[in-house]
Amino acid sequence: MAQRGLFITFEGVEGAGKSTQIRRLAASLEEEGVSVLVTREPGGTQISERIRELLLERRHHKMVSTTELLLYAAARSQHVVESIVPALEEGQTVISDRFGDATTAYQGHGRGLDLELINRLNRVATGGLVPDLTIVLDVPVKVGLGRARRRRRRMDRLEIENLEFHQRVREGYLAIAKEEPQRVVVINSRRNPKRVHNEIRELVKRHVTA
């Protein structure tokens, strides 16, 4: 039976540079012969991707916060069972663009929903699965949103939220990192992407050998 793979998640506000750093980390690991699954939330499976469309489509502006929370949980449950756990059991390293911490940051700190409720719901949706390492790419909200707007022609339903919402999300991520320093590491992603990647790569190496 294969040794369980490493589960790494990337988090951060919009425009923090997650996609770039995930690509770089996956490529460097694959060059070393590591089998890598790159996935995302919401998404990662056919069902979860359909839920993603519901969640991020701008015309769904009437969606209430509790509906949003439950849809994220549903997408995560499918993602964990169908994609993440089988890959980990096969010994693959799984790198996910967002996971349960995103719900705590966005729906908890951003929307103001009950954090204990979110924690319970996350445990149900994940079956108790917790990332081995979570990297929070931190950038000032205005900088991140500026990046996102330059990158996309059309912002999604969450990206168009006001600045105060995104600031609460950032503060939420920093609070999570303070509560779980052994799992969650904050990295300044305003710097040169190559420097950020090198720091992430060293962090992952230390985590593997720890």
173-184 CB burial, b ≥16 within 10 A, e <16: bbebbeeeeebb
The total domain count for the chain is 1
Please report whether residue 150 resides in a domain.
yes
pLDDT tens-digit map of 64-74: 999 999 999 99
SS3 content of the chain, % helix, strand, coil (to 5): 55, 10, 30
11 sits in which H/E element: strand 7-11
Please report whether residue 204 resides in a domain.
yes
**Tokens 């920093």 sit on residue:** 174
Q: Decide: 106 and 100 in contact? Cβ < 8 Å.
A: no
Please report whether residue 116 resides in a domain.
yes
Range of the domain at 82: 7-209
* pLDDT score for 157: 86
Beta carbons within 10 angstroms of residue 209's beta carbon: 6
Spatial distance between the Cα atoms of 195 and 34, rounded to a whole number of angstroms: 22
**Tokens 């690991």 sit on residue:** 29
pLDDT tens-digit map of 1-19: 568 899 999 999 999 999 9
Please report whether residue 1 resides in a domain.
no
Please report whether residue 59 resides in a domain.
yes
CATH number at residue 86: 3.40.50.300
Residue 48's nearest CA partner among 73, 79, 86, 11 is 79
Q: 83 pairs with which residues across the strands?
A: none
Tell me whether residue 31 is exposed, middle or buried, using C-beta atoms within 10 angstroms of its C-beta: 0 to 12, 13 to 18, 19 or more: exposed
Q: 133 pairs with which residues across the strands?
A: 8
* pLDDT score for 155: 81
Strand 184-188 versus strand 36-40 pairing type: unpaired
Give me the phi and psi of 177, to 5 degrees please.
-65, -35
Please report whether residue 2 resides in a domain.
no
Spatial distance between the Cα atoms of 187 and 118, rounded to a whole number of angstroms: 25
* pLDDT score for 109: 98
Write out residues in the chain with pLDDT < 50, as ranges.
none
